[in-house]
Amino acid sequence: MKFKLSIILLITLIAAGVFLNLNVGNASVSLLNVFDDEITYRLIVDYRLPKTLAAILAGIALPLSGLMLQELFRNPLADPSVLGITSAAGLGVALVIFLSSILGFTSLINNSWLISFASFFGALLALLLIVIFSARLNSTSALIIVGIMIAGFSSAIIGVLQFFAPSEKIKTYLMWTFGSLSGLSWAQIFVFTIMTLIGLLISAFTLKGISGLRLGENYAHSMGINIKKVRWLILISSAILTAAATAFVGPVAFIGLAIPHICRIVFKKTQVIKLYVLVILAGIFSMLLFSWIAQIFPSGSLPINIITSLIGAPIVMSIILNRNQFQWNE
């Protein structure tokens, strides 16, 4: 009963969030007149609706990726950045911004498709390295060390590029790291949607495996679950979801870590499938809420990463302070 009521509540909140995001902005509009006024129609269809859909897709991809990684590593502090995928995506963007400036191809920096492709390619390269190491390592926890090494290497290369890059290009890169839900074309939203659906489809095949792993690897083996296959599927789906979100909206912090944890606190000892659905809906609502909060400041919109960090950081601190009391669902 509690689960059904929560689903109804979250869907209602999501509908309210969509309405607020379509209404709130620098220009005051009425959705009732959207088909009567050409300017209002273009504002909603070309700007606010893609932005709202970007928030929804990011709200699906990042929390779901965080949930699966937390279940895989049995660690409430695991999130999409733990495998170095976010850092590798940032490296791809840094290479485009800084190298194009150094080599004189400054026009490439304004190509949003190239920036998205570079980010996605960097994330997929990290995924390839993780898959290679995963095939050689039997320890799941050892993959965290691999992720830390990938993140450290990516940060080092970015630092070298920043050292030689002009100051205005460094600012361009920093603006990308703040994250943004705005500026996506319908073609980019379409690609973002396809990649998110692929990640969702792959993740759905891991639910039975995760349920078995919750009871221990020996029990999972007795159920006929291929643990290595489940681990690979979790890594691939998490990487695709994280890569898609980072490529199109930038590195959005704390969402992938905080949302699954909040759902576990509210719904203790919840089945994996129910937690899966709750995390998706809670993630969508959270991103819509943060997107709306970012737009209500009178001085202008704040970057989405600042809003998620301001709200997510205290939640992460609570996880750390109460980690000894944190109990995994069995």
Q: Is the pLDDT of residue 213 over 60?
A: yes
Supply the mean pLDDT for the chain. 84
C-alpha angle 265/270/275, rounded to 5°?
Answer: 80
**Using 50, 70 and 90 to split pLDDT, how confident is the model at 3?**
confident
Give 134-160 pLDDT, tens digit per residue: 777 766 677 778 888 888 999 999 998
- Looking at the chain, the number of H-run helices and the number of E-run strands are 15, 0
Percent of the chain with pLDDT over 70: 88
Stretch 59-67: mean pLDDT: 94
pLDDT of residue 13: 95
Percent of the chain with pLDDT over 90: 28
DSSP 8-state code for residue 205 = T
Residue extents of the structural domains in the chain: 2-325
CA 81/CA 309 separation, integer angstroms: 14
Stretch 182-188: mean pLDDT: 90
**Using 50, 70 and 90 to split pLDDT, how confident is the model at 330?**
very low
CA 98/CA 166 separation, integer angstroms: 8
Q: Is the pLDDT of residue 106 over 90?
A: no
Please give the CATH topology (third level) of the domain spanning 2-325: ABC transporter involved in vitamin B12 uptake, BtuC (1.10.3470)
CA 268/CA 265 separation, integer angstroms: 6
Q: Is the pLDDT of residue 54 over 80?
A: yes
Token pair in block for residue 275? 């937690």
Burial of 309 (0-12, 13-18, 19+ CB in 10 A): middle
pLDDT of residue 194: 96
**Using 50, 70 and 90 to split pLDDT, how confident is the model at 35?**
low
CA 104/CA 95 separation, integer angstroms: 13
Q: Is the pLDDT of residue 327 over 60?
A: no
Stretch 228-234: mean pLDDT: 87
**Using 50, 70 and 90 to split pLDDT, how confident is the model at 64?**
very high
CA 279/CA 27 separation, integer angstroms: 33
Q: Is the pLDDT of residue 315 over 80?
A: no
DSSP 8-state code for residue 214 = T
CA 259/CA 302 separation, integer angstroms: 21
Give 237-258 pLDDT, tens digit per residue: 998 999 899 989 988 888 888 8
pLDDT of residue 4: 86
Dihedral pair phi/psi, residue 180, rounded to 5°: -155, 135
User: CB–CB of 150/90 below 8 Å?
Assistant: no
pLDDT of residue 44: 84
pLDDT of residue 299: 66
CA 268/CA 278 separation, integer angstroms: 12
pLDDT of residue 298: 64
Instruction: Find the length of the chain.
Output: 330
Stretch 194-207: mean pLDDT: 94
